Chains A and B, each alone.
Chain A
Amino acid sequence: MAGPVSSADSHLPGQADLDIFGDMPDETPAAAEPSDEEVLERFPSVRLDHVNKAYYKGLLRHELRVNRCRECGTWHTPLRPICPSCWSAEAGPVPVSGRGIVYLLTFLHQGPPGLGVDYTGGFPLAGIELAEQPGLRVEATVVDCPRDQLRVGLDVELTWIDRDGAPWPAFRPAGVPS
């Protein structure tokens, strides 16, 4: 078993700051948690299950939810039934700040057709390291960024793109007005 993240990681909020399974930090009080029926309807081609559905419900509320352990505080992607660091079952989805950096980056010059993706000049696909924890990463494209400014190390922030009528996470340069 990997060791839990040290409490000296000061960028982690203390456990008292979080109530994972109760009321989530509610920044959009108007949006209720989507129902199972709604998430099934909005993501018809996604292999939804009883664990990952919380992630996709988050997308519908414009929340990027990441697994966080209530026992050891460690963050992990993707959502898992237990914490990979301490094996506690007290792990569940928590929205992240959306801040991060580009850690991995490629430009795809070809790919599956029919998705509305323009591969001309290279479609960016990045591994974004989230601010919450070193090594905590998600895969996403980067938008609103000129090709010559898109590079490993760029500070980015969460934004949203539409895919098949549902919101999906993407990232854009941090703090730059669109």
Chain B
Amino acid sequence: MTGRNPAKDKIAIAGTGLSPYARDRGATTELALLLEAAVAAIRDAGLTAADVDGVVGGGLLTGGIDPATVVSALGLPAVTWWARAVPPVMNHLIAASNAVWAGACEVALVYHSVYRVGGFSRSAAADPFRRRATLGLPDGRAATGDGHTDPEPWSMHGSAGYAAWAGRYLASYGATREDLGRIAVSDRSNAAANPNAVLRTPLTMTGYLGGRMVREPLCLYDMDVPIDGADAFIVTTTERARDLRQPPVLVHAASMGMTAPPEEHLAAGLDATGQPLAARDLRAKSDLWLDDIDMFFPYDGFTIVALRCFESYGYCGTGEAGQFLADNWDGAGHRIMIGGRVPVNPHGGSLSEGGSQGAGHVREAVTQLRGQAGHRQVPGARAALLALGGFFFNAQGLVLRAD
């Protein structure tokens, strides 16, 4: 952790592209979704294939699409930097920002795709082509080069680890399922104004508490919703971005955090994980902090992750997030409104817009900071704090600001 931030405000997000989220996009491929988003992002920035000289990305469930495939499919004529990134999306964005800052490329295309596959969703398993989408891929931690570890139900790698730590959190601090439920209810209330959100029917606390139990204490509404979809972003220098079509959104500060051991079942404690480290590193790099930001984007692949973001980023102490949410609850809007002013995941988050490992959070922050969010525009939004990724081996932080 250095606190150095020589690239502060020097790199910008100059374009966004979306392949719309849906519970099921049907007979399509992950590459098709990705390309739809990529073309939209390049055009959004007012650029062409010849302008893109950097490519970075990757998706989650299939192992993702390699940059070479994207270069081929988009016919990019001259690429001088590329990297394959493991989700969540901040890995992709930080790699792109660093590459542009270092001069490895001038205009980086960042892509992130999600494609429902057999073994992950029942409806996807009904499609024989989606069943084959993971053919040959290793299970569990074997996918990370760590020999063999079983997937569920024998291992905590992934969802079960979050459930187990949620259970320990509730027991340790006297927190309740209602504390988790506030995250889910708030997201759903916000999603009503987001046409890209796949879940827009209002969710009450009673409805939340009656949700089908999946991995105790996490129920159906504590876990993000599987979707097909993709996002893409154009990252370039702020100087270049100012000459392009859209208002630049500046990367003010970015951080990552990982601590040993990062395995879910081995973490020494929630305060010892990567999430609070990413928060501390971001705090050291950023001139803007909690009193300066207009929107908060805690990652909500699981409600417990978002709940902990309020603690790790300093809104309250460990074990106090439930009370903090109760104190900052907008009863009329059925949502969290920090200090009556700062909305939380105004697009509905991964729980309601769709699970995209933070890509939706970044897109929404950029859209809001451009002033292009329509009915859900946060008035006067100038800065956003994003607390992305999970607890263990993929925690990240980001401060974006308008130019």
A interface list, Cβ under 8 A from B: 2, 46-49, 51-52, 77-79, 84, 103-112, 115, 117, 119, 122-123, 125-127, 135, 137-141, 152, 168
Contact = CB atoms under 8 A, between A and B. Distances in A.
Interface stretch (B211-219, B321-329, B334-342): B211-219
B195 interface: no
Interface string B132-143: 000000100010
B138 A47 contact: yes
A141 to B, nearest CB: 7
A106 to B, nearest CB: 4
Contacts of B119: 112
B269 to A, nearest CB: 9
Given A52-B148, A78-B147, A117-B153, A84 B260 contact: yes
B146 interface: yes
Contacts of B214: 108-110
B164 A78 contact: no
Given A108-B215, A125-B154, A2 B260 contact: yes
Contacts of A138: 265
Contact of B154 (A51, A79, A127, A141): A141
Contacts of B148: 46-49, 52
A115 B168 contact: no
A49 B160 contact: no
Contacts of A139: 154-156, 265
Contacts of B216: 106-107, 109, 122
Nearest to A153: B171
A86 to B, nearest CB: 13
Contacts of A168: 154
B239 interface: no
10 contacts: A48-B148, A51-B147, A78-B146, A105-B167, A106-B217, A107-B216, A108-B152, A109-B213, A139-B156, A152-B168
B272 to A, nearest CB: 10
Contacts of B160: 106, 108, 125
B78 interface: no
B266 interface: yes
B215 A109 contact: yes
B165 interface: yes
B334 to A, nearest CB: 27
Contacts of A137: 265-266
A51 B142 CA distance: 14
A47 B141 CA distance: 10
Contacts of B165: 104
B156 A112 contact: no
Given A52-B147, A106-B167, A111-B153, 9 more contacts: A104-B165, A105-B164, A106-B160, A112-B119, A112-B152, A125-B153, A127-B164, A139-B265, A152-B167
Interface in B108-151: 119, 138, 142, 146-149, 151
Contacts of A122: 213, 216
A51 B146 CA distance: 11
A123 B147 contact: no
